[in-house]
Structure 1
Amino acid sequence: MKRAAAAALAALGLVLAACAPAGQGGTGDGGAASQRKTLTVFAAASLKGAFTDLAGKFEAANPGTDVTLSFAGSADLVTQISQGAPADVFASADTRNMDKLKGEGLADGEPGNFATNTLTVVVPPGNPAGITGFKDLAKAGVKVVACARQVPCGAAATAIEQETGTTLSPVSEESSVTDVLGKVTSGEADAGLVYVTDAKTAGDKAEEIPFPEAANAVNTYPIAAVKGARNKPAADAFVEFVLGSEGQAALAAAGFGKP
């Protein structure tokens, strides 16, 4: 009888251990998983390649932190944050949208400039419309795609129009520079205005037509932690990582200029 009772108690113990919550007597690794932290970074669409790379490097240097990236046009991201989207860090493609975030009291601390970028023209392979420079984009019959004026790449294009006395009539205005590139690589446009970093990612799907006037409209990229960040220590660490030597090296490799 004693043996039977002991066996029953042992079996009951195994059942209770199996049912116990992770980290409270269970044998699974749920305790370690519960210690993981998530960092949510909202970044301009033109940063997708570079920040995807940087997020992996940051996670490797900060075990236990998972970086979630959300890419869109800078203006759209500011709107989302203003409406309560749970962002810990915001990286803008221009100072104007970062200033807007600051003006709404949603930037934590003074933003730091981490990169610059300039516009270029991309055309489908073979350049069927014969584009040679910025002013050719205004020729009759040329289907041009550009960013909307409230988007950083659109604001830069507007500045170049004013500088050169050229008036463009885009067949489509997009909310992000990646959408402009997509229109060109899919053959829906004769030319598009994108950043040099986006042209670099297009590979053989598009040809780049640089133009000197782009130097008169350089976009500066700032980054800052967001007020009320759910993971403030990681947010501050990520900002410093992007501004630091490793972050700057990754951005330079992606084609960004120095801030």
Structure 2
Amino acid sequence: MPRPRTARRTAAATALCAALIVPLAAGCGGGSGDEASGSGKKTTIKVLAAASLTDVFKKAGAAYEKAHPDTVVKFSYAGSQQLAAQVEQDFPADALVTADTRTMDGLKGRTGTPVTIAHNRLVIATGKGNPKKVMDLKDLTDSKLKVVLAAPEVPVGRYSQQVLDKQHLKVKPVSQEQDVRGVLSKVELGEADAGIVYATDAKTAPDKVDAVPVPDDQNAVAAYPAATLKVSEHKKQADSFVKWLRSAKAQQILRDAGFQKP
């Protein structure tokens, strides 16, 4: 018998907290979030962010810290559904950025007012050179093709199913991953012939994968909302970071990474 939804989310949050590496290790132990810096202190804010933001937020975080030398930004990346599980367990973090509005909307009462910082679209990722000659969504129905998708509870998995259903296509994936980077990794390693990912994720591995575009009339638009968490002990700094994500500087960093304007 399947476990209740709350139990599943509790287990997911516990497992994810245990697995967190350096950036949020202090968060699992309930650290103060302040660290010495010369004669003063810097405030550390912890941001839970969708896996598809991994590369671009490294650059965004560095730019923010340069403009705000009194603040350190540390990120924890995972599938949006895993981040939501953490938030529901009052995980000690300051801000949240998801890859869909549905997940963020499900956390009303635990966040401030969300703001959309970017949009994204889907592409089909294939091995470099597209050896299986995948040209469109219909090709993914070929039973001889090893296709990997994200799990249906993951935003990119849900978007993928939406576009396939819209075209009345049935695809049997060889695996379903817990975030978009899991899908991309399977294709990069040659464990899958193709997978549906965000355009920005395919762009991070140009030497390992090709991106087959999905026409706009068949595609789905992913929205990325950001919000301060009500459990934050540094709301002023978290609010500042969330607001900055809509600034000209942050938006240029997002555009350069392939994200579309909000």
Q: Tell me which interval the TM-score lies in, with the shorter structure as reference length.
A: 0.7 to 0.9
Q: What root-mean-square deviation, in Å, do the aligned CA atoms of Structure 1 and Structure 2 show?
A: 1.6
Matched, 1:191 2:197: no
* 1:78-136 Cα distance to aligned partner (Å, 9 max, x none): 1011112111010010000000111xx1112x100110001100111232222111110
For residues 89-128 of structure 1, the aligned pairs below 5 Å read: 89-102=95-108, 105-108=109-112, 110-128=113-131
Give the conservation status (yes or no) of the 8 Å contact 2:36–2:42. no
8 Å contact from structure 1 (residues 75, 97) kept in 2: yes
Give the whole-Å Cα distance in 2 for the aligned partners of 1:202 and 1:39: 29
Partner SS for 2:90: coil
The letter for the 2-side match of 1:164 is Q
| Superposition map of 1:1-40 within 5 A | 32=38, 35-40=41-46
1:174–1:224 Cα change, 3 Å? same
Aligned mate of 2:67, from 58, 61, 78: 61
Structure 1 residue runs without a partner (length 5+) = 1-28
The number of aligned residues is 228
Task: Indicate if the aligned counterparts of 1:197 and 1:255 stay in contact, CA closer than 8 A.
Answer: yes
2:164 maps to 1:161: yes
TM-score of the two chains, using structure 2 as the length reference: 0.84
Q: Percent identical across equivalent pairs? A: 42
2-structure distance, mates of 1:198, 1:75: 18
Residue pair 1:119, 1:214 contacting (<8 A) in 2 also = no
Q: Contact 1:120–1:214 at 8 Å: present in 2 too? A: no
Deviation at 1:165, TM superposition (A): 0.3
| Equivalent position of 1:43 in the other structure | 49
Per the alignment, in what secondary structure is the counterpart of residue 206 of structure 2?
helix
Residues 168, 250 of structure 1: alpha-carbon distance in 2 compared, 3 angstrom cutoff: same
8 A Cα contact 1:43 1:91, kept in partner: yes
1:77 equivalent among 83, 86, 93: 83
Matches within 5 A, 1:203-214: 203-212=206-215
Q: Relative to structure 1, is the Cα distance of residues 114 and 162 closer, same or farther in structure 2, using a 3 angstrom cutoff?
A: same
| CA apart distance, 1:245 | 1.1
Could you list the per-position Cα deviations for residues 30-56 of structure 1 after superposition, in whole angstroms to 9, with x for gaps in the alignment? Answer: 674662211100000001111111110
